[in-house]
Every structure is written in structure tokens, then in C-alpha cells.
Amino acid sequence: MSGTPTPFPAVENTLEVRHLQTRFFTREGVLPAVEDVSLTLARGRVLSLVGESGSGKSVTGFSIMGLVDAPGRVVGGEILFRGKNLVGLRGGGDAVSARQPRCHSVPEDPMSTLNPVQRVDAQMIEAVRAHRRASRRAAREQAAEALAAMGIANPEERLRAYPHQLSGGMRQRIAIAIAMLHKPDLIIADEPTTALDVTIQVQILSELQTLVRTQGTSLIWITHDLSVVAGLADDIAVMYAGRIVEQGTVDAVLDHPQHPIPPA
């Protein structure tokens, strides 16, 4: 090493969450939704956050995205995103803008991000041009490529469709393709395929996995169904009652569980 100081610390991990605590201050009392969550995610890796319903998976995702609303609040810990701590940033708006466009979420219901009265091409062109100068034509070409990368056979036909003309699986593929067009460093997908057939869930995750590897995007895939992620994630973190009770590479967690994996 030379003696020249580096102006910024070298950032190896896209995300490091340390001892995150998020609580809901309700009339009935304080609800510790996330009690102690620590996660590390490197570039291009897929982490699956698994656990039974109510274990705190979504609240963990919302906390990382800066989307916890009153009466909820992140009360402790650190969220280092590309080396910068996001916890304690003043104002929800600032906290969210510090994450954008580098952090994107894909919700369970694709219709909550797709515009029902706009054709798919218009929505995708907008996503491309939100971050880069591109002609409509070039942006449309990128949109078609993004659909093909998500395993969509007839991109041209799909681009001309309105969301309601497409199947649930197709809509979710499109929502994911739009998230990828923003070229984020991190995508948090919260049970995005739960409503779909298991074979389709595995297909979609496998296409997304290839894509994130190529683009160096880190992915957190939230699910209550371990079977969907078993063969596809790099790492697994199992949540139970607001805590991570088991964490490691897929092989380590599945071969040598330290803790009984809670039923879905």
C-alpha cells in the first residue's frame, strides 16, 4: 500500500445492515417488528430473506428502503448503503432520495407499480429516460431487450399491450424488467411471485438471478417459501420474531441448520 490516503473508504459491500431495530408505536403498545437484524450483501449477490408470516421480513425491506411510515420508526442500528449510513437521515424525503435511484423495490402486487392506463412501452421508455439521455427509439430498444432478458418471448407484442391484457406472471416480469432498467445497485423484491405457480416463480427468479449477476446488482428476495430460493440464492437469512436466527450460504444453511427453519 502506498502512503496516499484514499479520499473515500473503499466500498466492497453494496449493503451492510447492523443491528437494525424497527418498532411500531401503537396505542396498544410498542411492537418490536425488527429487533436485531444484521445482513451483508456484496455486489451481484442474491440474498434470500425467509421466514414465516409476521416475522419482520417486509419491515426489514421497508427500513432499508426508507419507507417505514408512522407509527413505525427505525430506532436503532445502521444501514450502510454503498458505505454511507442511511439511519438517522433527517426527513423521510431526504432519506428516500439518498437511496434513489440506486435502490429499487419490487412489491408483491405488480399493479401497484404499473400504470393501468399506459401501454407497457411508454412506462418502460420513461424508466430508461429517467436516468439516461436516450432517444425514444433507443429507449424502446432497451425496453425490448430488458423484456427478452426476463424470458419474455414476444417483446414487441408485449410492449404494445396494456398491463390488464397480460397474465400475472407477465406483469411481474415486466415490473422486474422496469426495476432493472433503473440500473440500481440494490433491488428488494418482497414476495413478488407469491401469487404465481411455483414453476413460474422459479423461472422468474432464475432469470432475475442471471440478470443481477451480469449487471452487478445486489438482490434481496423476500419469501416465506424456502423451496423457491433453495437452488437460486447465494445466501439465506432466516427470520423469526424480528430476529435473524440463521444465516449463511445456501449450502451451509440447508445442509447444517443451526435452528429449526420455521414452517411457512
Ligand X SMILES: Nc1ncnc2c1ncn2[C@@H]1O[C@H](COP(=O)(O)OP(=O)(O)O)[C@@H](O)[C@H]1O
**Region near Mg ion per CB under 5 A, out of 50-58, 160-168, 180-188, 240-248:** 50-58
Which among 25-33, 122-130, 170-178, 255-263 is the span making contact with ligand X, rule CB under 6 A? 25-33
Stretch touching ligand X by CB under 6 A, among 52-60, 78-86, 89-97, 171-179: 52-60
Residue count at the site for ligand X (CB under 6 A)?
Answer: 13
The grid coordinates listed for 81 are: 448503503
> 54 is in the binding site of which of Mg ion, ligand X, none (Cβ under 5 to 8 A by kind)?
ligand X
Residue type, 50: V
- In the bound state with ligand X, the residue whose beta carbon lies nearer, of 58 and 217, is 58
Q: Does 63 bind ligand X (CB under 6 A)?
A: no
Least Å distance, CB 81 to ligand X, is 20
Asked if 140 contacts 159 with a C-beta cutoff of 8 angstroms, the reply is yes
CB of 164 closer than 8 Å to CB of 115: no
Q: Compute the least distance from the CB of residue 103 to ligand X, in Å.
A: 18
Task: With beta carbons less than 8 A apart as the criterion, state whether 7 and 30 touch.
Answer: no
Residue 220 engages ligand X in binding (rule: CB under 6 A): no
- Judged by beta carbon distances under 5 to 8 A according to partner kind, the member of ligand X, Mg ion, none in contact with residue 77 is none
| 63 scored as a contact of Mg ion (CB under 5 A) | no
Selection from Mg ion, ligand X, none that 31 binds (CB < 5 to 8 A by kind) is ligand X
Residue that the C-alpha cell 443491528 belongs to: 19
Answer for which of 53, 214, 227, 258 binds ligand X (CB under 6 A) is 53
Helices (H), the chain: 57-65, 92-97, 120-129, 136-149, 155-159, 168-181, 198-215, 226-229, 250-255
| Residue 57 makes contact with ligand X by CB under 6 A | yes
Sheet strand arrangement including 13-26: 84-85, 72-81, 13-26, 29-42, 243-249, 235-240, 46-51, 218-223, 186-190, 103-106
Radius of gyration of the chain (CA): 19
Does 58 participate in binding Mg ion (rule CB under 5 A)? yes
Q: Is 56 in the site for ligand X (CB under 6 A)?
A: yes
Q: From CA 156, how far away is CA 93, in angstroms rounded?
A: 37
Which helix H or strand E contains 239, and what residues bound it?
Answer: strand 235-240
Residue 195 in the binding site for ligand X (CB under 6 A): no
Residues in touch with Mg ion (CB under 5 A) = 58
Write out the residues near ligand X by the rule CB under 6 A. 24, 26, 31, 33, 51, 53-59, 72
